[in-house]
Amino acid sequence: MRRLLSWCFCVCMLGLVTAVIAEPLAEPIVEAERERVGLVLSGGAARGLAHIGVLKALEEQGVAIDAIAATSMGAVVGG
């Protein structure tokens, strides 16, 4: 039993040492310069028309939209 524990300890230590001295396999991930923005538009005729004003306000503020998800009238306005 003692021999098995010694063997397991040696294998674990070898794994730890290898992990510490190993070079990274990939380049570190560089964060984007700006955050991505997603816009969700709901359905309904009255709400769909209200989305037009929101889109204009976002455009005036210089907010770049990366992705749009919408249903019904929101899809027509955002599409």
Q: Provide the number of structural domains found in the chain.
A: 1
Distances in Å between the Cα of 39 and the Cα atoms of 21, 24, 49, 57, 66 are 44, 36, 15, 13, 8
Bridge partners, 70 (sequence order): 41
At 25-62, the pLDDT tens digits run 667 677 667 788 888 888 877 777 888 888 899 999 99
Provide the residue range defining the domain that includes 21. 2-78
Please tell me the pTM assigned to this model.
0.51
In this structure, are residues 41 and 78 in contact, taking their beta carbons and an 8 Å threshold?
yes
